[in-house]
């Protein structure tokens, strides 16, 4: 088996004034660049990369490469004597021609860290020469994990959606665990953590989002741990161990509002926030300390006369729920006026009217009006004298004790004849 000589020396012996000129061929060399598909230098673990060997050879021969973690001895003089692993698959070399060329291989590197690549040229594994060595540092892929809950402030025994989301640059698995807070932090690996599993061995590659629904008891703080790792015992996860705090609170005590209605009228009472629609639902419990507004709406023909109990007045009522509350809403019939009798005497040119009020709050006062004159106070019976011949219109309206006036006065049209 022949031994390969790395430097081909072409000697031209020319004697000129006692001097010899010697022309030497370029040395055999090799270098390595690890790039992504776009040509960017980016050595990374577990993601396919182009390993581009730039090789200059003085002869047609074989190109051999070994690799191993840095920190040990330098490259051995020959391929066979080097302790590194074979980079190329069987037959463990690539053919190269005389001259400069690129040997490109697409490869997914399994580890991160710094590695020494040793490059050889020669006709056989034990007849070759080291022509280059290079250290390449492979970065770890990036990964991120975030955590959220719906609702954002979960309560005891309430269904809570826990969402784990994020992104993984390379294929990995998501592991999450939970336990009461206050102990040790998240363990280096999912296997060694003492929490209970939430998500286990869920494959991810790129963006991800995993929601799960849980109920929690007792109330308190919980520690949530998450790992984005090659497996459950991976001590070098690309995401995590990431710690999150989940707080489960006891629900606030609830105070009751009880609404009753009184009076001859009708109407409804509603609340904001929703809960009371009385009508049908006249009692509801609201969170302690919350503010609740009550509104009364009379039906047609009725009037809201006012509140009693925990509310007063005739407008909307706002209650602070520091305790149970009882409220009464009074609805009365709307103030109405009715003409009970009209006596028209054309000969004497007089007209007399009797009338009564109803609804509202007694006693009533009345206002009368004839034709285009203004309303003025009056009593039943009301008599008009010295009336002109022709058509007339009488109007009367009642006003109750609360000051509410009949919006639809009673009307009587009549005629004084010759």
The domains of the chain are located at: 9-138, 143-248, 254-333, 336-416
Distance CA(289)–CA(251), nearest Å, equals 12
pLDDT (tens digit per residue) in 231-267: 999 999 999 999 999 999 998 889 999 999 998 889 9
The answer to whether 212 touches 162, Cβ cutoff 8 Å, is yes
Q: Which residues pair with 339 in a beta bridge?
A: 355
The confidence band for 22, taking pLDDT boundaries of 50, 70 and 90, is very low
By the 8 A CB rule, do 410 and 393 touch? no
Once rounded to an integer, what is the mean pLDDT over residues 272-286? 95
pLDDT digits (tens, 9 = 90+) for 41-90: 999 999 999 999 999 999 999 999 999 999 999 999 999 999 999 999 99
CA terminus-to-terminus distance, the chain: 154
Write the CATH number of the domain with boundaries 143-248.
Answer: 2.60.40.10
219, 160 Cβ separation under 8 angstroms: no
CATH topology of domain 336-416: Immunoglobulin-like (2.60.40)
Range scoring the smallest mean pLDDT among 17-21, 77-81, 115-119, 254-258: 17-21
Mean pLDDT (the chain, rounded): 91
- The residue count of the chain comes to 418
160 phi/psi in degrees, rounded to 5:
-125, 130
Look at residue 6 and tell me whether its pLDDT is greater than 90: no
Write the burial class of residue 85 (CB in 10 Å: 0-12 exposed, 13-18 middle, 19+ buried): exposed
Residue with the larger pLDDT of the pair 25 and 409:
409
**Confidence category of residue 115, pLDDT binned at 50, 70, 90:** very high
pLDDT value of residue 7? 28
The encoded tokens of residue 24 equal 């030497």
Confidence of residue 205 (pLDDT cuts 50, 70, 90): very high
Residue 133 has pLDDT above 70, yes or no: yes
The shares of helix, strand and coil residues in the chain, as percent rounded to the nearest 5, are: 0, 60, 40
pLDDT for 12 equals 27
- Measuring CA to CA, how many Å separate 196 from each of 172, 309, 361? 21, 53, 69
Q: One fold for both 143-248 and 336-416?
A: yes
CA distance 107 to 35: 11
% residues pLDDT > 70 (the chain): 94
Q: Which two tokens stand for residue 191?
A: 């296997």
Q: Is 9-138 in CATH node 2.60.40?
A: no
pLDDT for the residue 19: 27
Q: Does the structure show a pLDDT above 60 at 3?
A: no
**Residue closest to 417 by CA, chosen among 388, 386, 382, 394:** 388
């Amino acid at each position: 088996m022949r031994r390969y000589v790395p430097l081909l020396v072409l000697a031209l012996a020319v004697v000129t004034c006692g001097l010899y000129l010697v022309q030497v061929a370029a040395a055999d060399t090799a270098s390595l660049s690890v790039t992504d598909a776009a040509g960017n230098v980016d050595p990374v673990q577990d993601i396919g990369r182009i390993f581009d060997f730039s090789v200059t050879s003085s002869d047609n021969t074989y190109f051999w490469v070994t690799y191993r973690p840095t920190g040990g001895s330098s490259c051995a003089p020959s391929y066979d004597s080097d302790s590194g692993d074979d980079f190329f698959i069987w037959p463990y070399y690539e053919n190269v021609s005389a001259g400069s060329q690129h040997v490109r291989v697409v490869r997914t590197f399994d580890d991160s860290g710094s590695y020494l690549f040793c490059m050889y040229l020669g006709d056989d594994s034990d007849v070759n020469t080291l022509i280059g060595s290079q250290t390449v540092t492979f970065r770890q892929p990036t990964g991120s994990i975030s955590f959220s809950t719906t609702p954002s402030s979960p309560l005891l025994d309430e269904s809570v959606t826990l969402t784990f989301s994020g992104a993984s640059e390379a294929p990995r698995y998501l592991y999450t665990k939970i336990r009461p807070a206050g102990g040790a932090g998240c363990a280096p690996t999912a296997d060694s953590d003492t929490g209970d599993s939430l998500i286990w061995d869920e494959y991810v590659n790129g963006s991800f989002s995993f929601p799960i629904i849980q109920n929690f008891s007792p109330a308190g703080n919980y520690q949530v741990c998450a790992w984005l790792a090659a497996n459950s015992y991976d001590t070098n996860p690309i995401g995590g161990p990431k710690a999150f705090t989940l707080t489960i609170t006891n629900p606030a005590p609830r105070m009751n509002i009880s609404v009753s209605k009184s009076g001859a009228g009708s109407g409804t009472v509603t609340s904001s926030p929703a809960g009371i629609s009385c009508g049908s639902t006249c009692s509801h419990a609201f969170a302690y300390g919350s503010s609740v507004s009550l509104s009364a709406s009379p039906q047609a023909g009725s009037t809201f006369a006012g509140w009693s109990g925990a509310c007063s007045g005739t407008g909307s009522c706002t209650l602070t729920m520091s305790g149970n509350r009882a409220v009464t809403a009074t609805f009365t019939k709307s103030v109405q006026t009715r003409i009970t009798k009209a006596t028209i005497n054309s000969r004497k040119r007089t007209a007399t009217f009797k009338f009564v009020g109803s609804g509202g709050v007694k006693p009533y006062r009345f206002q009368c009006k004839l034709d285009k004159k203004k309303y003025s106070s009056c009593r039943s019976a009301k008599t008009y004298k010295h009336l002109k011949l022709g058509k007339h219109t009488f109007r009367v309206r009642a006003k109750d004790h609360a000051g509410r006036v009949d919006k639809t006065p009673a009307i009587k049209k009549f005629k004084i004849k010759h």
